[in-house]
Structure 1
Amino acid sequence: MSNLKNMKVSSATINFGDGTKKKTTGWISHTYKKIGWYFITVNLNGSCKGYDYLAGGKGLKTSGKIINGTKIYLVKVTDAPQLSLSKSQPITAGYYSQKSYRKGTIDYLVIKVANLGSKTSKATKISMWYQKSGDKNIGKIHPKLKKYTASAKLKALKPGKSAKIILRFKIPKKYSKIVKNLRLGTSSLKQISKRDALYVIN
C-alpha cells in the first residue's frame, strides 16, 4: 500500500466478489466454493497513524488520512495443480569436488517443488536458466549463458505433497558481475503459469 514505515490502518474492508465481505486490520484469508473469475475490492479509506517519514533530514512520526485507498484485483479461482517452490529451503547448492569449492563454482542445485493446488499434477520437467537483468521478455535465456541451462524430471505430485530434484547446474564465479536473474520454469503451463514459474535471485 505504501513505502511509509510502521503505518497502521484503522480498518480495511474486503469484498471478495462472491458475496463475502470482511473487515480487518491485518492479514486475512478466504476460500471460494466455486471456480471462476472474481473481482476483489480492497477499501483502505480511513485514517492511519504512526508512520515514519523524513522531513529536513529528520525522521518524524505522524498520522493522516488515506486518499484513493480503493484497489480492485481480478482473480481466477481454479481447481487444478499448482506447482511452486517449497517455502521450506526451496533451493540449496552443492559441490562435487574440493576444486569446485575452492573456485566458488557451484556444481548442482537441489530444488524442492510443492503442489499447492487441489489436484494431482502430471509428471513434467523443471528447467533452470539465466536471464539478462532488466529483460522484460520473460523466459528469454541470457545470450552469454546459454550453455548454463539444465533440466530434470519431476514426478507427479498429489495435492500438498513435495519432491526434491537435482539439477547439474553451474554458477560460474567469473560471471558473477553479469548474472542477476536465475530463472526456474516448467514445460507444463497448465500446471503453473510461465510468469509464476520464475524464481529470481538478485
Structure 2
Amino acid sequence: MSATYPGALIRPAQPDDAARVARLLALRGITVEEALEQAPRMIAALPVLLLASLPLGPAADDPQARVEDAEAPASADIGIGDDASAPVALSGAFLLPGDLEEGRPERWMVSGLIVDPAARRRGIGRALLAAVASAVQEVAPGEDLFSVVETANHASVATHLAAGFETAAHVDGYAGLVFDDALLMRLPGAADH
C-alpha cells in the first residue's frame, strides 16, 4: 500500500527501512546507535507505521524544495546516502490498552510525528497524520485516534488541528508518561463524521 497525498508520497515502513526509520528517530535527539537499535523493533511492533517522502518531479529539482542529507547530519552516520526520495517524516499508531485504575479506555494512539526540519511547512506532517488516521480506520473502523502533544510544540499542535484533531483535555501525564503541559487530542472516528 502506497499513497500519494498533496505534498507527500506515503507508504508503510518495511523491515528493510530500518536505516531510514533510524535516521528519522535520530532527529529526536537520541544517538545513532539507539536509533538503529529501536528502528527494527518499532517496524515489527507497530500495527501502523508510515514513512513519507517528498514527491519526485519538478519540486525535486528545486534546491529549496529538496531535503538534502547534509541538513540532517544523522543520515551520513546511518548510511542513507543522497537518496532524493528518502523519507522525511515518520508516524504511526498503536492500540494502547485500557487502564481501569486511571479510568482510561483502550484507545488508538499516534506513536509520534517526526518531520525532518528541512521538510517542514509543506503539509507533509498533516498528510502523514491523515494517512495514519486512514490506516487506523482500515484496521479498526469507527475508532477515534488520540495523540498527546506538548502545548509548547506549537507547530505540532497546529499540524494536528489542521489534520482534524480537536483538543480533548489538558494533561500533565498520560499512560505513565509525564509532561510539563500537554494536550490530549482526538480525531473522531468515521462514525462521528
**TM-score, normalising length: structure 1:** 0.21
Q: Give the number of the structure whose residues are more often helix, by fraction.
A: 2
Q: Give the number of the structure whose residues are more often strand, by fraction.
A: 1
Instruction: Give the number of the structure whose alpha-carbon radius of gyration is greater.
Output: 1
**TM-score, normalising length: structure 2:** 0.22
